[in-house]
Structures are given as C-alpha cells and as structure tokens.
Chains A and B, each alone.
Chain A
Amino acid sequence: MIPDRIIEQGTLTTDGPRTAVEVRLPWYRALPGSCISGAKLSVDGVAAPEESLRWRMNGREFRFDELVDETGEWWFPVDSAVLSGDLPLAPGDADHEVRVDLTLYIPYIIIGDDETLHIEEHDTKTMKAVAA
C-alpha cells in the first residue's frame, strides 16, 4: 500500500558487527507486534542472518519469535521502528543499497477458515552508513 516509504532515507547506522535502519509501516493503520510476521535486511546484496535480526519499537527490542504473542505494543503509522542485524559495515562516504522485506498480517481480513491475509512488501534505497 505504501511500500515506497518502508525505509527511512538517511537512517542507516553501523556499530561494529551490527547494522540498523529505520523502517515505516507500509499500511494505513496501526498493527500490533503479533502482526509483524517477519523481516529481512540486506545491504549491498548481503543479508543479515535471520537469527540476528531484532525489531525495536516504542522503546522495546524484540526477536521476531517474541513478537508472535505481542498484542500490547503497536506499530503506529507515523512512527519508525528499527530493524537491525549482524552485518558489519564501514561508516563513510560510500553509497550502500539497503533492502528491507516485510511480512505483515492484516488482522481484520480473514480470507479462509482460520486464515488471515498476509502481505509481503519490500523497499530498496541507497544511502551512506553513519557510525551509531
């Protein structure tokens, strides 16, 4: 719906082995953590290992398996979350191609017996990395 806004321009940060980028909800209404099913982060074609990915929103950090039952914290449409993973990167003037893939469940659209609609959205933007 709003995939062009997923990656916030100019928010790529690096801190030793970790790299992070701010991401925005590509949907018109807030979704709880339980509906954020998964994400991928890659820089210059290299993907961060899945088990290293972390999701920070509303000041709390989650592994994706911790989000499964999280109905208390919501991702509001004008707020950024931070997606980070193990991906060593040197800060500097070089441009990096950042790609984020998101899988979201849309909790009010039931498309079959016990099946909730999920959407897959992605965004790619080019930016420089800044030391965190």
Chain B
Amino acid sequence: MTALRQAQGSGTPIQGVTLYSFTRAFHGHEYDLEALIRKVAADGYGPGLEVIGFSSFRGFPAIEDSFAGWFRDLVDEVGLVTTSLAVNADIGIHRDRLLNQDELIEYMRRQIVAAAKLGFPIARVQISITPDSMEQLAPIAEEHGVTLALEVHADQYASHPRILDLRDRYEKVGSPYLGFTMDWGATVSGFAPSLLEAYRRRGASDELLAKVVDLWDRYYAEGPPADQAEHGKRFGSFIGLAAQNGRPDLGIDFGINGTGLFGPARVDDWLEIMPWIRHVHGKFFGIDEHGEEPSVPVRDLIRLLVDNGYSGAISSEYEGWHWNHWQSPFEIVAAEQAVQRSAALNAGSRMITDAAQARSILNAHLAQPVRG
C-alpha cells in the first residue's frame, strides 16, 4: 500500500533535527560540537542534520579547508546527512547604519560558500531578505549548488503578503534554487502548556494565565494578523494584559511568545506555497503525558506534507528550551519524532530514517546534489 501511494505521489519526509534544539546543552558545555553530532547519530535523531552557522562554527562564515574536511568526515562516519545550514542576514551589524545592498549580497555569498564547503545542500535564509535580494542571490546559489530556503516563521505565515510577494518573484525568476523553509510555529493551535508552567513557576497566578490563554485563543479564532500594524496591536495587548493584572514584568515575554512563537494560521494555509517548500522546521514546544505535542498540530502537518508529496527533510526544532529547564531536550525530541513517524504511517507513508535513502531522496527533492 505504501508503494502504491508513493507511486501516486505521497511524500516520504526525511527525519532529522537541528542542533538548535540542544542549545542549552551545547552552551552549557555538556556537549561540544563533535559530541553533540555523535549523540544525534547514536540516539537516532537523524539522519537529517541541520546546523546554525553562527552557533556551531567558531569564526563562521570563514571555514578552513581542514575544518570542513573534519566535519564532513565526522558526518559520514556517524551516518548522518547534512540538510540545511541556517544562515543569517546581519543587516544591522554596524551600529550606525544598515548594510547596503552590495554589502548584504556579499555577506550572504560568503555564507552560501560556507554551506557548500561543509556539504549542506540547503541554506536557510530569513524574512529580512527581500524578493530583489533573493533574485540577486539566485545565480550565486546556482553557482555553488545550494538551495536558498527562506523561512516562513511567525509572525508571518504562508499567505502573508510578504511571503506571497516572494512566491510570485520565485515564479517569475524560475530558479529551482529558490524556495521556502516551512516553520510549524506559524500554524500553532494553542498557547504552549509548558510555557504556562514556566510562568506559574515565576509566580504568575492561574487567573492571569487563564486570561493569557483566552487572549491567544481569541486571536486564533480571528486568524493570523493581516499586517504588521495588526501584529503590533496584538503584541501590545499582551503587554497590557500583564500590566492590568499586576505582572508588568511578564508583558514583553507574553507578547514575544504569544505573537512571535505561536502563530495562529491554519495548517492548510501552507498550500499557498507548497510547491516551493524545500525544507521544514518541525517547530514544537513540548510533549504531554499522552506523548503528544499539545499545541502544535504535528499529525495534521505531517499528513499535509505526505498528501502533497513532500519528500524533503523535517528538522525537529524544539524551542521549549527557552523556558523548560526541568526536562531533558533529548527525551522531548525523541518523543516528538515518534509522533512524526506515527503520523506518517497513519497518512499511508513513512518517515525516512535510513541515511542512504535519505541522501538519495533529498537529492531528488532538490535541484541537484551539493557540489561541495
């Protein structure tokens, strides 16, 4: 049955993880880069491996040949497959001015070169890259064999005007090297219970937290913010709620998380850009006592991807580490990946967990394998 469905175009997403999920373990010197990569492989969070350049590689984007060789050998040895290198457009790197267009393109070019050198076929870029910049970067991406996948992240969402502008430009440019990274945080279905628990531990009353949930649920019912002005209004309302209830110190935190982490778009909103999705951040915040993600509709998202023939990588991106200091991120990632695998089976397909299969499927999914 699986083979039949595949023949009809069901997707077989590749399981994987971003090291961002383990930020506190790396930052806290529990694991260095090599130990963390070995753990990802040994514990079975791969085969897909995503890394943030400026988090994991000292001196990034300058990459010595010897370091690139060491990294690629390590990834091969442990049986992982490099998927996406997350890069940043540091437009505000100078205190007194923003980068001009030529500087920005050069800044991104160096990171694209680093991705190729390290063996990543995808570079995740962010919303600050405009349609004009993406068009200008397309030949650089092509030259180095790296697909640029712009991340659609809350407070944006697939049908947001800025994302549709990008999609329309991709269509006009026609380069197979331009696409999107789908971040599940844009389509969240509830305020994360583990964050409510963290606020409780900071002394927030149940009454206040019930109001926070009610406010978020109201925005969920209304749907995602139409524009930046509406987004700003919602942000302000979380700050106001905290102030009115005697906890002004929590206001900005409510606003940042309530609008920037928990995006209230519906799962089928992704259909607006589905053919251009080249990579996925399986963003999530926790696992409940039933072994399910209580605030991200992981099962619906996997079904959507399978039904629409997506056979790229999904990097499990655990973000609950911002506030959850009482549970192991490793166990939580393992539990979320079990949900993904179960959901893929329920959708009549499966997640790819074998490295050789993952490599060949990813090569077919992208414009061409990385040339290194």
Please give the residue numbers on chain A whose beta carbons come within 8 Å of chain B beta carbons, in ascending order.
Answer: 1-2, 4-5, 24-25, 28-30, 32, 34-35, 37, 68-69, 71, 74, 76-78, 105-110, 114, 116-117
Contacts and interface: CB of A to CB of B under 8 A. Distances in A.
Size category, B interface: 20 to 34
Nearest to B99: A107
Given A1-B322, A108-B128, A32 B26 contact: no
Interface in B12-35: 20, 23-24, 26-29, 32
A28 B23 CA distance: 7
Point out which of B23, B26, B89, B325 has the most chain A C-beta atoms below 10 A from its C-beta. B23
B93 interface: yes
Interface stretch (B52-60, B175-183, B204-212, B331-339): B52-60
Contact of A78 (B29, B91, B128): B29
B288 interface: no
B90 A28 contact: no
B60 A30 contact: yes
Contact of B59 (A74, A107, A108): A74
B95 A34 contact: yes
Contacts of A68: 95-96
Contact of B55 (A30, A105, A114): A30
Given A29-B54, A30-B54, A114-B97, A105 B92 contact: yes
A71 B94 contact: yes
A35 B322 contact: no
A25 B128 CA distance: 24
A69 B97 CA distance: 11
Given A28-B55, A78-B29, A110 B98 contact: yes
15 contacts: A2-B23, A2-B24, A5-B28, A29-B52, A30-B58, A69-B95, A71-B94, A78-B27, A78-B29, A105-B92, A107-B93, A108-B88, A109-B92, A114-B97, A116-B92
A55 to B, nearest CB: 15
Which applies to chain A's interface (DSSP): helix, strand, loop or mixed? mixed
Nearest to B33: A78
Contacts of A116: 91-92, 98
Nearest to B129: A108
A14 to B, nearest CB: 25
Contacts of A24: 27
B91 A110 contact: yes
Given A28-B52, A30-B60, A108 B92 contact: yes
B342 interface: no
B94 A76 contact: no
B227 to A, nearest CB: 15
B353 to A, nearest CB: 27
Contact of A77 (B26, B88, B126): B26
Interface in B94-122: 94-98
Contacts of A71: 93-94
Nearest to A34: B95
Contacts of B96: 68
Contacts of A105: 92, 95
A34 B58 CA distance: 17
Contacts of B52: 28-29
